[in-house]
Structure 1
Amino acid sequence: MSQDPPRYVREVMTRPVVWVHPDASLVEAAQVMRAQGIGDVLVASDGELLGVLTDRDITLRAVAEGIDPLAVTCHAVCTPDPVTIGPDEELAEAAALMRRHAVARLPVVEAGRPLGVISLGDVTEPP
């Protein structure tokens, strides 16, 4: 019985990167998410990943606290220094990282620059 060859992050990651500037308001980020039909955006400046902002972050870290989503920046609410993975890593490693850190999405980064995002669904789908 032959074993399937390994699959790599590069093969399944979502592109292009959807990002917002760290000084963007939460309303701007939410509008980007709605327009793209996604639940998270990367927070980046000058091509450098600073954090990940999810719809849940906006809800729990801002709205639930009574913070005006027009008055607070994405950088203030995002998860800073997120766990990342490289494009040439195997999907099994991505799944292990997600499990270990209890996250459903990982930014794919090479040389400090975000290239895409990989989700839990990406690593569990059959080839």
Structure 2
Amino acid sequence: MQVAEIMDRDAVTVAPGTPIQDVLALMKDNELPGLPVVNEAGRCVGIVTESDLVLSEEEGDLHMPHHLDIMGGTIWLESWKHFEERLEKAMAADVDEMMTADPVTVSPETSVKEAGRIIAEQGHNRLPVVEHGRFVGLVTRLDVLEAMTRE
């Protein structure tokens, strides 16, 4: 059995510039824990999930990186890049600022067993399905489990 036989061809998606409030409303109204992010050309450029939208306790602590001031100079003990990433996520207004870019995807021809392996190994609940780079559907952990129990 292939992913094409079980995928949702009418999956709810969002565009890269979608405001976070709209993403939250779509997720709530459709009872979805995540949405593929699809650009105008139909390419899946990311995925946004509930975990992307929630700042962990560590990420919520936006303190300046630890540093030492010695003899008029500053020695940074933490990466500025990590601080900048936390700050961007905390201040995000649009989905493209918060999504996971370049998500793991499968093709319609991927076997259901292979999709299940990817879902298990990657720890994902949903995988965008792409054909020739374009988004064509979504397959979830539940879709895979149901298909495997039917076989």
Name the TM tier (shorter chain): 0.7 to 0.9
Return the alpha-carbon distance in structure 2 between the equivalents of residues 12 and 109 of structure 1: 14
Return the alpha-carbon distance in structure 2 between the equivalents of residues 77 and 107 of structure 1: 17
Identity %: 30
From 21, 27, 30, give the equivalent of 2:24.
30
What amino acid sits opposite 1:98 in the alignment? Answer: I
- 3-state SS of paired residue (2:54): helix
* Residue of structure 2 equivalent to 1:4: none
Is the Cα contact below 8 Å between 1:49 and 1:112 reproduced in 2? yes
Return the alpha-carbon distance in structure 2 between the equivalents of residues 115 and 76 of structure 1: 23
Return the alpha-carbon distance in structure 2 between the equivalents of residues 114 and 60 of structure 1: 28
Moved over 4 A (4+): none
- 3-state SS of paired residue (1:103): coil
What amino acid sits opposite 2:2 in the alignment? Answer: Y
TM-score (norm 1): 0.83
Matches within 5 A, 1:1-127: 7-46=1-40, 47-60=42-55, 65=60, 67=90, 72-125=93-146, 126-127=149-150
Cα deviation, residue 86, structure 1:
0.4
Please list every run of 5 or more consecutive structure 1 residues that lacks an aligned counterpart in the other structure.
1-6
- 3-state SS of paired residue (2:27): helix
TM-score (norm 2): 0.71
Question: How many pairs are equivalent?
Answer: 117
Cα deviation, residue 110, structure 1:
0.5
- 3-state SS of paired residue (1:33): helix
